[in-house]
Structure 1
Amino acid sequence: MSRIDDDDDLGVVGYLLIKKVVIDAANTISSPITYGFPAITGFLGSFHSMSRKMAQDDELSDVSLGGVLLACHDCQPQMYRPNSYNNYTFNQTRNPIKKDGKTASIIEEGKCRLNMTFVVEVLAESKLTPELQATAMQKTEQWIQQQRMAGGSVRGLARFEPVQFFETDDISAVIPQLLPAFVLMDAQEEFTQIIDEVQADNPDATPLDALIDVCALHHIPKLQKNGDTKWSTISRKTGHGWLVPMPVGYQGISDLFDAGTMQNVRNPEYPSQYVEAIYSLGKWVYPQRLNSIGGDNDIANAFWRYHYDAEQNLYLVTQQHDF
């Protein structure tokens, strides 16, 4: 999201750094076919909600929040397997029994524990005064502990200076604050290269085949001169970095229905549409690699934003500025 509202007069006047946010029971099922790190929309939605609170605050009504940088210190999916030969299963909660005394059905859900640091763009018409900066930090620290993050509950923040404000010219000073962690970056270019490689081997392969191939390990036997067999393991993502499949938004698959037309929707006051998930590749990057100002790894390109394409019915999260 370049900004929460449509006011073109707003620009980035600084950044809020929120350090070591401990999130318990976050949703680790990021899409119908992926799990592990939560979906990006789970974090952007939380900061969107925080931006709406700013709009209703007397002191911060002229301030809103924009793109979000995600730095993960630790991610622990809550899984279990009895031995090394079994499949992992998610740890499930025990639901209360029904009125007839029978056990209620349990819908499969996965949870994880996270330790995250966020850097959020602060948008306004002019630079914030030191008093407004202090107010934004104080209220952000309060709000983030009062709301859900990716479906989980915030259990704590860093002990010292949990929320800091940085001017736009001091963005490089944010990088040391992210260590040790990995920053989630878009890997669309790497995905395009992998699709070309897969289709060169198999012209009938689809981008979905390439996405699945990224997750696979290919064990290839090779006969040695002495008659022994030596096995080698190769992967499509070798040389491309730490790639991970992830959902990047939704594609509309039906007409857009007027508000109140579709039944059982969460927000009936808004137009609704049936959608399906869109997948791409993400890449975990060391914060030190974000030092190349003006390059592909410029930290300014690490912020995730909403993007809506009405013609293509696309609801995306992206780090790209132009389409």
Structure 2
Amino acid sequence: MHRTYPKALYVVRLNVENTSIISSHLTWGFPAPSAFTGFMHHLQRQLNQIAEYATVECCGVGIISHQFNPQITKTNQFRYSPYQLNLARHPLKADGSTPAMIEEGKGHFEVSLVIGLAGDELDEYLSANDEDLSTQTQSLLNQLNLLVYNMRLAGGSVFPHKHVKPKLINWSEHDAVNKTKALRRSVLPGFALLHRHDVLTAHQKWLAQYPTYLETQKNSPDLLDTLLDIQRFNFFSTPKEVIVDQEQLEGVWTVRPRPEHLKGWLVPIPIGYGALTDLQPQGVIKGLRHDDYPATFVETLISLGEWQSPHRIENIVDILWNYNTEPKNGVYELVQPFASQLDIDTSLTDEETHQSFEFETEEEEF
């Protein structure tokens, strides 16, 4: 897969209001990474229209959330969800009738974006000292600010942060770790969004050898089974006998402990789209917004993400999201091209294998 390492990082903190919080057909909450890669792509296209920045490339966007406020109400009316979206009432029509209400979730959030910049002619616009910017560097920073503050992010209105000013940092691979240590202090407190497909596949392997899962499900787990298993409380009955009200019971229902590889703030996230049909030539599919390109019908791809504190990140470019420029089998996904894959131990412990649990008092634990 093609990957262009950034020569500069543009770091900006934004307050975004009335953004869309319905990120896919199965998830709601913080906007999908595709909203931020689309923001980055639009920024590059506007920047390239300026002659001196015509070759500048945005090679990834990092997402660090500081605050998220969904516009919801807690309610007991619904069986499957304790929350209800706050819906806006639209003005009446000319004849006095009520217009149709379209359910759309809204929210406000504060986020830091780390946008990687690359390009052969970018060097002349960068300063060697990040604190003492040259005239060319300051001009580029001002141009980026002008474009960003006039854009929308995930459908929401963008406002600059009152106290944290944007930065333009000269970046190279050899001093990335040292500069990350200085940079991550400015993005705390917050949480960076990482793609953890490696944890998803590791847990699938772990489930495939877990005795209780195989006994109850009668089959090996696929990735959807694995994702659902991670996002819920899993109960099982232990073989230990207990006596309650002079009645002997043969098992105790308890929550299955989470294995070591599932430690962390793990969430389901949309990471792109999967094609439902073959790619159709230009003009074959009618009613598209733009008929200038080939098109196909798609559905959302759901994977596993992790919100991780920036102080645990050694190289800030590991969090950059970008498009997979070489899609295969109709999979148009978002990736983190600079992130390193870790080895995850999925071997079962003796306790997990034998399902032996100790209780202090049988009646109280039941």
**Fold match (TM-score > 0.5):** yes
Q: Distance in 2 between matches of 1:231 and 1:145?
A: 54
SS in 1 for 2:51: coil
Q: Between Structure 1 and Structure 2, which shows a larger proportion of strand residues?
A: 1
**1:318 corresponding residue in structure 2:** 335
Establish whether residue 213 from structure 1 lines up as the match of residue 229 from structure 2. Answer: yes
1:286 corresponding residue in structure 2: 309
Whole-angstrom CA distance in 1 between matches of 2:2 and 2:29: 27
- Alpha-carbon distance, 1:145 to partner: 1.6
Alignment TM-score, normalising by the size of structure 2: 0.76
Decide which structure has greater helix share.
2
CA distance in 2, matches of 1:85, 1:94: 21
1:164 aligns with 2:170: no
CA distance, structure 1, for counterparts of residue 69 and residue 257 of structure 2: 24
Equivalent residue letter for 1:289:
R
Other structure's SS at 2:168 match: strand
Number of paired residues? 309
Using the alignment, how far apart are the partners of 2:35 and 2:27 within structure 1? 14
Within-5 A mapping of 1:205-244:
205-219=221-235, 227=244, 232-234=254-256, 236=258, 239-244=262-267
Contact map agreement 2:5 2:59 (CA 8 A) in 1: no
Aligned to 2:140: 136
1:120 to 103, 115, 124: 115
User: In percent, how many aligned pairs have the same letter?
Assistant: 27
C-alpha separation between the residues in 2 aligned to 1:261 and 1:174? 49
CA RMSD of aligned residues (A): 2.8
Match of 1:6 in 2: none
Q: For residue 192 of structure 1, give the secondary structure of its aligned residue in structure 2.
A: helix
> Does the alignment pair 1:29 with 2:46?
no
In structure 1, the partner of 2:130 is none
CA distance in 2, matches of 1:309, 1:13: 23
Taking the aligned partners of 2:257 and 2:149, their CA distance within structure 1 comes to: 41
Which amino acid letter does the alignment assign opposite residue 292 of structure 2? Answer: E
**8 Å contact kept, 1:2–1:66:** no
Shift of 1:240: 2.7
| Deviation string, structure 1 residues 151-173 (Cα, Å, up to 9, x no partner) | 1111332424x211111136412
Q: Which residue of structure 2 lines up, in the alignment, with residue 107 of structure 1?
A: 102
Tell me the equivalent position of 2:198.
189
- Does the CA contact (< 8 Å) of 1:199 and 1:206 recur in 2? no
Q: 1:153/1:22 Cα in 2 relative to 1: closer, same or farther (>3 Å)?
A: same
Is 309-318 or 195-204 further displaced after alignment? 195-204
CA distance 1:139–1:207, change in 2 (3 Å): same
User: Residue type matched to 1:183 in 2?
Assistant: A
Report the secondary structure of 1:260's partner residue.
coil
Matched to 1:55, the amino acid is: N
The residue identity in structure 2 corresponding to 1:302 is: I
Alignment deviations for residues 265-287 of structure 1 (CA, whole Å, 9 cap, x no partner): 22222221101111110011111
For residues 190 and 65 of structure 1, the distance between their equivalents in structure 2, rounded to whole angstroms, comes to 28
Cα distance in structure 2, aligned partners of 1:85 and 1:256: 41
Which 5+ residue runs of structure 2 have no aligned equivalent?
127-133, 246-250, 342-366
Match of 2:187 among 178, 182, 187: 178
Distance 2:104 2:256 in 1: 32
What is the TM-score of this pair, normalised by structure 1? Answer: 0.86
Shift of 1:35: 0.9
Whichever residue aligns with residue 206 of structure 1, its letter is: D
- Check whether the contact 2:317–2:338 (CA below 8 A) recurs between aligned residues: no
**What is the rounded CA distance, in whole Å, between the counterparts of 1:157 and 1:266 in structure 2?**
34
Superposed CA deviations along residues 105-142 of structure 1, whole A, max 9, x for unmatched, are: 22221111110001111112152343332122112212
Would you say 1:94 and 2:89 are equivalent positions? Answer: yes
Deviation at 1:195, TM superposition (A): 1.5
What are the within-5 Å matches in structure 2 for residues 295-310 of structure 1?
298-310=315-327
Instruction: Give, in angstroms, the shift of residue 206 of structure 1.
Output: 2.3
- State the match for 1:256 in structure 2: 279
Partner of 1:52: 45
Larger Rg: 2
* Residues 192-243 of structure 1, C-alpha deviations (whole Å, 9 max, x = no match): 1122233332324321121112221135577786738987444657643110
The code of the aligned residue for 1:260 comes to G
Gaps of 5+ in 1: 4-9, 292-297
CA deviations on 1:5-55 (whole Å, 9 max, x unpaired) are xxxxx7521111112x10011111111001111010101111111111110
Structure 1 residues 204, 62: closer, same or farther in 2, change over 3 A?
closer
Q: Distance in 1 between matches of 2:336 and 2:5?
A: 17
CA contact 1:22–1:156 (8 Å) conserved in 2: yes
**Distance in structure 1 (CA, Å) of the matches to 2:256 and 2:108:** 31
